[in-house]
Amino acid sequence: MSVETQEEKPEIMEPLHRVGITNLRTVARINWKGRVYTFLPLFEVTIDVPAEKKGIHMSRLVESITEAMSEAVEEEVMGAHRSLEELGRAVIRRLEGKHPHRHAEVWIRTHLIVPRETPASGKVSYEPYDVEVGVIKNGDGSFEKVLHVKVTGNTVCPHAMANNDGKTHIQRAVGELEVRTAFDEEIALEDMIDVVEGSFSHPTYTLLKTVDENAVVQGMFANPKFVEDVAREILAKAKERFNGRIHVRVISNESIHKHDVIAETWS
Amino acid sequence: MSVETQEEKPEIMEPLHRVGITNLRTVARINWKGRVYTFLPLFEVTIDVPAEKKGIHMSRLVESITEAMSEAVEEEVMGAHRSLEELGRAVIRRLEGKHPHRHAEVWIRTHLIVPRETPASGKVSYEPYDVEVGVIKNGDGSFEKVLHVKVTGNTVCPHAMANNDGKTHIQRAVGELEVRTAFDEEIALEDMIDVVEGSFSHPTYTLLKTVDENAVVQGMFANPKFVEDVAREILAKAKERFNGRIHVRVISNESIHKHDVIAETWS
Amino acid sequence: MSVETQEEKPEIMEPLHRVGITNLRTVARINWKGRVYTFLPLFEVTIDVPAEKKGIHMSRLVESITEAMSEAVEEEVMGAHRSLEELGRAVIRRLEGKHPHRHAEVWIRTHLIVPRETPASGKVSYEPYDVEVGVIKNGDGSFEKVLHVKVTGNTVCPHAMANNDGKTHIQRAVGELEVRTAFDEEIALEDMIDVVEGSFSHPTYTLLKTVDENAVVQGMFANPKFVEDVAREILAKAKERFNGRIHVRVISNESIHKHDVIAETWS
Amino acid sequence: MSVETQEEKPEIMEPLHRVGITNLRTVARINWKGRVYTFLPLFEVTIDVPAEKKGIHMSRLVESITEAMSEAVEEEVMGAHRSLEELGRAVIRRLEGKHPHRHAEVWIRTHLIVPRETPASGKVSYEPYDVEVGVIKNGDGSFEKVLHVKVTGNTVCPHAMANNDGKTHIQRAVGELEVRTAFDEEIALEDMIDVVEGSFSHPTYTLLKTVDENAVVQGMFANPKFVEDVAREILAKAKERFNGRIHVRVISNESIHKHDVIAETWS
């Protein structure tokens, strides 16, 4: 019979907040509003460890992911989890039967590809976004979630524009919006992406024919913004649309500098 | 005369917590206990922005860095700042005369190379560490600092060892220790590094002759540790030696898995 | 009517070898042996530019990707491209009707998740691999492909083992195998992964119950290998199984050092 | 006495081209034209391994770096190596006495900080660049070197400008220039940086007062360039100024897209 070193008393008896597996790449399928999406996400799954237990049984965390996946697969498309947070909660539910704990977290990081229509030619353009979903089970059994989106856009400097007869510097910028809220709050990642994407000087597109490029250029010059303006607009819109604690960060990859500029704020 | 768009009233009047420059690479010299060290750090400098100001004057943040540097250079070696946090505070002091703000932060990230003695042959081995120092000026004018070190070590699985007659799996692990404390607390980054490095199954070395390699191997097998054990030892030692809020994270790059395991805790 | 600056004569008349789009993230579906896999790959698509043309029409490269995708989607599952290289060639075929060029390249980088059986308990474990496929159309119209896999495994030091009565140091290692060959050579990425994974001291698994962990530990000690041994075994097996130019690189994240060791070779 | 497993005959007798240490961070001092610069570079040092030797003695490569450093330190400032390539060759010279080989390579990667004058206010601005130097000893004993610089600049789209009455999109771009040449060719990294930096729509600066920002903006609009134009200008200037094989790569982080565009060429 095998020794269970994890169950021994540790030399140093300190409780640990988050112990588990991280950077685990796997495949996941989500049935989002009737359509099945496949992701290749990175998972982190952690639980707390009381002072008197030496360690955790890591393989049970991996099994919880695998079983939560295959439960969905077995029941086919209709059985796929309805969102990344549903999948996260399913992992924790599986874990409850496998490993004692008080606090548990599942973090899922993936890319999301969303079809958009280009501004002038009306063609379809597939836009990529980085998203992360965290599901947190607190010590009292309540569930929270953290939704995070990262969107590529741009800033057009209003200060340079005012000082150069309409000429200015323009650059790529990246906006991040995070909402931490109760598990049952209905917040779509797509809506969070819309909030960020609509707060830049102009949205960006993967496909742009010349007429579209012209529309984007004209739109950018009509809407000059500091990184500060982008952060404020994301915050204001997010507070209006989403319940929860909101965190905003915008980084602009300045075209006139080698460094970046940053604006960060939270509710 | 130039327009100062930054001073205008923004359309959306939200206060911003952190606005500034980031990922700025430059050169810095520190006179640490009478010896001058040169770094090539990354800087982030941010200030808060009140609701009624559209933006900040980014160039004044850059000037604060440059002037804090050259003030030291002008006065030559003896005038170099005595630590990364002294340099950080000097940047904020410069900034006070240049740009109104209530809250300010300077973050400096660099590599630190420390000479060590190898365990058996007694040769000198130069060991690299990643360090980050944050200096925070709060709204009441008080200064805090955040000291962060990242150290490469290893874990040796005690569970596998107990189940395989002394055979086990071993792997590289990375431990991080962060202390947030009052500015005037005397805490050396080297001491924080020692705490982390001494908590692994064994310290690692850049140079190891065969006799040294043997000493490390023997030492590792004599001291098997879960990632949980490493985190607890860092936390316990850090609480004993350093005043402040302590955060510990250890990630082990498992040699039997493609993913990592993690243990995280804080005081 | 819009100006086509790209068609103008450039000031400096030098031919360019590779011009196009890179780091484009999108979604792709492959029908590999009757089963449909979804990927979220990064694309790079480039063509050559003659000395007398100022630039290329970038949007036509994006359209070639999008159309090659939807051609497959329209014809549903059975119409999905049968491999990543078929998809790459379909992009170039689309491009031929859109943009004059002599040389064209498509590079597709993605994760591949493959089910494996654990060594003792016989459970299913889903293993992630990084793969890249390049399709190259040469000036004479011939097609080549470059297949690249990156696999996580481990090394067990035979030198330390010989000097420490069977004790040694063990660590995660990463092996890469690349084959450059004619487009029509039948080489499965899975077979290339097998070659690399089977050349370490032992394969790694995402899920390992205690009996499996024991099997891996025993297996590792029974098969000590330098990074040099791993590289040689990959090269020898690859030369036997695959026609083409072979490149091998193995990096071992030493558990006794802070740096890595490397072995690289090619046919 | 210890066993030297490295000297044994391997099971698979294949020669290996490049075996050694990589990602080794350390400190280095260079006396460049009478002024001492300190770097915190990453080193890779490799040698070839004949078919009949199982492995190499990795610690001798580390010692070669350490000794080449301290030889310079011992002789104080004036004794510091006169360039990164001199340091690289000194490492190989040390290695010659320590470990048999036919082919050897040393790669040194670091940041270089260069003072510049801003375009209008004439202030000093410290600009960071990524550089890499490779020193290669071939089987016939001859030495070659590879010099690589990476410079941050910008592109201003001439096509959008022509179609939008002078309005356009602008973005950060990164240009890389590599020269492979005989060891004794006199080529300064600073001159290579000048070639790249001067080929963008405009150079970038860490510090820019409003008058400087205006000069950069006016300069960018006066000099619109595709990524293709930047690559051509770098190539043409580099061919004129430097003897050797030249490779150029420019990547533009488009402000209207989420992906990048690339132009690559070589002599």
- Say whether residue D197 is in contact with chain A using an 8 A CB cutoff: no
Q: Is residue C23 part of a domain?
A: yes
Hey, what are B45's tokens?
A: 């400098």
- β-partners of residue C261 are C252, D21
- Give pLDDT, residue B72: 57
Side-chain-side CA neighbours of residue A222 (13 Å): 9
B133/B118 Cα distance (integer angstroms):
28
CB-defined contacts B:D, below 8 A: 62
Statement to judge: residues A138 and A95 lie in one domain: no
Placement of tokens 């050169």 in the chain: B27
Backbone angles phi, psi at D91, to 5 degrees: -65, -45
Statement to judge: residues B87 and B141 lie in one domain: no
pLDDT tens across C29-61, in order? 888 888 888 999 999 999 999 999 999 999 999
Residue B78 has pLDDT above 80, yes or no: no
How many domains does the structure of chain A reveal?
2
Statement to judge: residues A248 and A161 lie in one domain: yes
For residue A126, the chain C residues in CB contact (below 8 A) are 26-27, 66
Residue C125 has pLDDT above 90, yes or no: yes
Q: Tell me which DSSP letter residue A11 carries.
A: S
Q: Is residue A188 part of a domain?
A: yes
Statement to judge: residues A222 and A249 lie in one domain: yes
Domain boundary among C74, C102, C130: C102
- Say whether residue D209 is in contact with chain B using an 8 A CB cutoff: yes
Q: Cα distance from C65 to chain A (closest Cα, Å)?
A: 10
Q: Is residue A109 part of a domain?
A: no
Residue B31 has pLDDT above 90, yes or no: no
The arithmetic mean of pLDDT across residues D55-64, rounded, is: 96
Statement to judge: residues A29 and A98 lie in one domain: yes
C45/C65 Cα distance (integer angstroms):
9
Placement of tokens 């060290």 in the chain: B37
Interchain proximity D262–C236, CB inside 8 Å: no
Interchain proximity D21–C260, CB inside 8 Å: yes
Residue A208's Cβ-count burial label (10 Å; 0-12, 13-18, 19+) is buried
**Partner-chain residue, chosen from C12, C58, C228, that has the shortest CB–CB distance to D55:** C228
Question: CB–CB of D14/C232 below 8 Å?
Answer: yes
For residue B210, the chain C residues in CB contact (below 8 A) are 159, 163
Interchain proximity D209–B38, CB inside 8 Å: no
CB proximity list for C256: less than 8 A, separation 6 or greater: B154, B202, B204, B205, B208, B213, B216, B217, B220, C169
Among D164, D209, D258, the strongest candidate for a mutation testing the A interface, having the largest count of A CBs within 10 A, is D258
For residue D6, the chain C residues in CB contact (below 8 A) are 159, 226
Residue C73 has pLDDT above 60, yes or no: no
Q: Is residue B200 part of a domain?
A: yes
Residue A121's Cβ-count burial label (10 Å; 0-12, 13-18, 19+) is middle
Rg (CA), chain A: 22
- β-partners of residue C143 are C137
- Give pLDDT, residue A73: 52
pLDDT tens across A207-253, in order? 999 999 999 999 999 999 999 999 999 999 999 999 999 999 999 99
Question: CB–CB of B212/B119 below 8 Å?
Answer: yes
D64/C45 Cα distance (integer angstroms):
43
For residue D59, what is the enclosing H or E element? helix D58-74
Q: How far is CA A121 from CA A146, A221, D254, D260, in A?
A: 37, 20, 20, 22
Question: CB–CB of C151/C196 below 8 Å?
Answer: yes
Q: How far is CA A172 from CA A200, A250, B20, D199, D224, in A?
A: 10, 11, 17, 20, 17
The arithmetic mean of pLDDT across residues B219-241, rounded, is: 98
Going through chain D in order, the beta strands assigned E by DSSP cover 16-25, 28-32, 35-39, 42-49, 104-117, 124-137, 143-156, 170-182, 245-252, 260-266
> Subunits touching A (CB < 8 Å, at least 3 pairs)?
B, C, D
The arithmetic mean of pLDDT across residues D209-235, rounded, is: 98
B193/B82 Cα distance (integer angstroms):
18
- Give pLDDT, residue C209: 95
Q: How far is CA A202 from CA A32, A173, D104, D145, D254, in A?
A: 28, 11, 52, 46, 13
Hey, what are B123's tokens?
A: 């040769």
Q: Which residue has the higher pLDDT, D74 or A6?
A: A6
pLDDT-based confidence at B95, cuts 50/70/90? very high
Residue C77 has pLDDT above 50, yes or no: no
- Say whether residue B110 is in contact with chain D using an 8 A CB cutoff: yes
Question: CB–CB of D53/D79 below 8 Å?
Answer: no
pLDDT tens across C218-262, in order? 999 999 999 999 999 999 999 999 999 999 999 999 999 999 999
For residue A211, the chain C residues in CB contact (below 8 A) are 2
- Give pLDDT, residue D36: 83
Residue C75 has pLDDT above 70, yes or no: no
DSSP of chain C: ----GGGSPPSS---EEEEEEEEEE--EEEEETTEEEEE--EEEEEEEE-TT-----HHHHHHHHHHHHHHHHHTHHHHSBSSHHHHHHHHHHHHHTTS--S-EEEEEEEEEEEEEE-TTT--EEEEEEEEEEEEEE-TTS-EEEEEEEEEEEEEE-HHHHHHTTT---EEEEEEEEEEEEETT----HHHHHHHHHTTSSS---S---HHHHHHHHHHHHTS-B-HHHHHHHHHHHHHHH--SEEEEEEEE--SSSSSEEEEEEE-
Q: Is residue B2 part of a domain?
A: no
Statement to judge: residues D186 and D131 lie in one domain: yes
The whole domain housing C42 covers 14-102
Interchain proximity D169–A255, CB inside 8 Å: no
Q: Is residue D6 part of a domain?
A: no
Placement of tokens 């394969």 in the chain: C203
Statement to judge: residues C138 and C211 lie in one domain: yes
Amino acid found at B163: N
Q: Cα distance from C118 to chain D (closest Cα, Å)?
A: 28
Statement to judge: residues B185 and B247 lie in one domain: yes
Q: How far is CA A7 from CA A56, B158, D191, in A?
A: 8, 12, 63
Backbone angles phi, psi at A263, to 5 degrees: -135, 130
Q: Where is mean pLDDT largest: A33-37, C81-85, C200-204?
A: C200-204
Cα C175 to its chain centre, rounded Å, is 12
User: Closest Cα partner for A172 from D224, C238, D171?
Assistant: D171
DSSP of C114-125: EEEE-TTT--EE
Backbone angles phi, psi at C236, to 5 degrees: -65, -45
pLDDT over 90 for what percent of chain C? 90
- Give pLDDT, residue D74: 52
Q: Is residue A7 part of a domain?
A: no
- Give pLDDT, residue A184: 97
Residue B73 has pLDDT above 80, yes or no: no
Statement to judge: residues C85 and C127 lie in one domain: no
Mean pLDDT, rounded, of chain B = 94
Q: Cα distance from D126 to chain C (closest Cα, Å)?
A: 30
Asked which of A220-229, C78-87, D99-108, D145-154 is least confident by mean pLDDT, the reply is C78-87
Domain boundary among C58, C77, C102: C102
DSSP of C134-186: EEEE-TTS-EEEEEEEEEEEEEE-HHHHHHTTT---EEEEEEEEEEEEETT--
Backbone angles phi, psi at D75, to 5 degrees: -85, 10
Residue B190 has pLDDT above 60, yes or no: yes
Q: Tell me which DSSP letter residue A6 carries.
A: G
For residue D194, what is the enclosing H or E element? helix D189-197
Statement to judge: residues C170 and C236 lie in one domain: yes
Residue A136 has pLDDT above 90, yes or no: yes
Residue A127: which CATH number? 3.10.270.10
Q: How far is CA B123 from CA A72, B127, C62, in A?
A: 58, 12, 57
pLDDT tens across B47-58, in order? 999 999 999 999
- Give pLDDT, residue C1: 66
pLDDT-based confidence at A77, cuts 50/70/90? very low
Q: Is residue B12 part of a domain?
A: no
A255/B243 Cα distance (integer angstroms):
43
Question: CB–CB of C140/C183 below 8 Å?
Answer: no
For residue D170, the chain A residues in CB contact (below 8 A) are 169-171, 255
- Give pLDDT, residue D72: 57
SS3 for B42?
Answer: strand
Hey, what are C166's tokens?
A: 């069977």
Question: CB–CB of C189/C131 below 8 Å?
Answer: yes
Placement of tokens 């690339």 in the chain: D262
- Say whether residue D107 is in contact with chain C using an 8 A CB cutoff: no
- Give pLDDT, residue A72: 57
Amino acid found at C121: S
Cα B170 to its chain centre, rounded Å, is 26
Question: CB–CB of C256/C233 below 8 Å?
Answer: no
Hey, what are C191's tokens?
A: 């077979």
Q: How far is CA C49 from CA C21, D176, D265, in A?
A: 14, 19, 10
Statement to judge: residues A59 and A162 lie in one domain: no
pLDDT over 90 for what percent of chain A? 90
Amino acid found at B57: H
User: Closest Cα partner for A228 from C120, B2, B48, C177?
Assistant: B48
- Give pLDDT, residue C3: 87
pLDDT over 90 for what percent of chain D? 90
Domain boundary among D36, D68, D101: D101
Statement to judge: residues C97 and C112 lie in one domain: no
User: Closest Cα partner for D187 from D133, D130, D138, D231?
Assistant: D133
For residue B263, what is the enclosing H or E element? strand B260-266
User: Closest Cα partner for B109 from B159, B60, B42, B34?
Assistant: B42
- Give pLDDT, residue A36: 83
Q: Count the neighbouring beta carbons within 10 Å of the beta carbon of residue C123.
A: 18
- Say whether residue D218 is in contact with chain A using an 8 A CB cutoff: yes
